[in-house]
Amino acid sequence: MRGETKGCAPLMGMGVRVKRIAGVGVKVYACGLFLHPDAVKKAIGGTFFGENPARVAKDQTLFDFVVNDHAIGKTVRLVFARDLESSKIADALAERLRPKLGAHSKSLKTFESYFENVKFAKGTSLTFCADHGKLRTLIKGKEIGVIDDKTMCAALLEVYLGKDPVVPGAKQSLGEKLAASVVG
């Protein structure tokens, strides 16, 4: 999971995206969440000081800080467990992003164009790096585009850290690690 994020923020959360197909759970991709816990602690100040880490780990306020503070560099890395057509990935992400960005969003259209004619073979990585309101997208470690849009960054991170995350296990493990670092 470390690959193209080596030397960057540490891996803080990890989980597997499972899709139900005809009642059977199928693994789609592994998801890694990378960020510096000290940057989060600095951004939130004493908000959670002295609180129970188990409670803080589940508090949506913690995740909202991470999503909305654009000075905290965050990386979401997906590694596919099966071959997938890019249209499946683009459609699934756009479905989640469209309500926040609007159907006619220039950023969303640019983002969707990154996936045209790309095949995601088993083992392929797709990485999103959000830092200071810019979203970098990489496929197989190669940068394919940068979108300068804070709303786009937040919307993409909400896919993984919002109230209804697509990979609940990744959000949960991130919450547990972050809570341990921000309560004391």
82-119 pLDDT, tens digit each = 999 888 898 999 999 999 999 899 999 999 999 998 88
Higher pLDDT, 22 or 57: 57
Question: In this structure, is the dihedral angle defined by the CA atoms of residues 155, 158, 164 and 169, taken in order, positive or negative?
Answer: positive
Residue 28, C-beta contacts closer than 8 angstroms, at least 6 positions apart: 16, 17, 18, 19, 80, 81, 82, 84
Q: Once rounded to an integer, what is the mean pLDDT over residues 126-147?
A: 96
Residue 136, C-beta contacts closer than 8 angstroms, at least 6 positions apart: 127, 128, 129, 130, 143, 145, 146
Would you state the structure tokens that stand for residue 20, as one six-digit string?
Answer: 């139900």
Going by pLDDT thresholds of 50, 70 and 90, the confidence category of residue 2 is very low
Mention the CATH class of domain 3-182. alpha beta
18-55 confidence digits (pLDDT tens): 988 788 888 999 999 999 999 999 999 889 989 999 99
Please, what is the average pLDDT of the chain?
A: 92
φ, ψ for residue 55 (rounded to 5)? -75, -45
CA atoms within 13 A on the CB side of 59: 19
Name the DSSP letter for residue 10. P
Q: What is the pLDDT of residue 7?
A: 53
Going by pLDDT thresholds of 50, 70 and 90, the confidence category of residue 127 is very high
Q: What is the pLDDT of residue 95?
A: 93
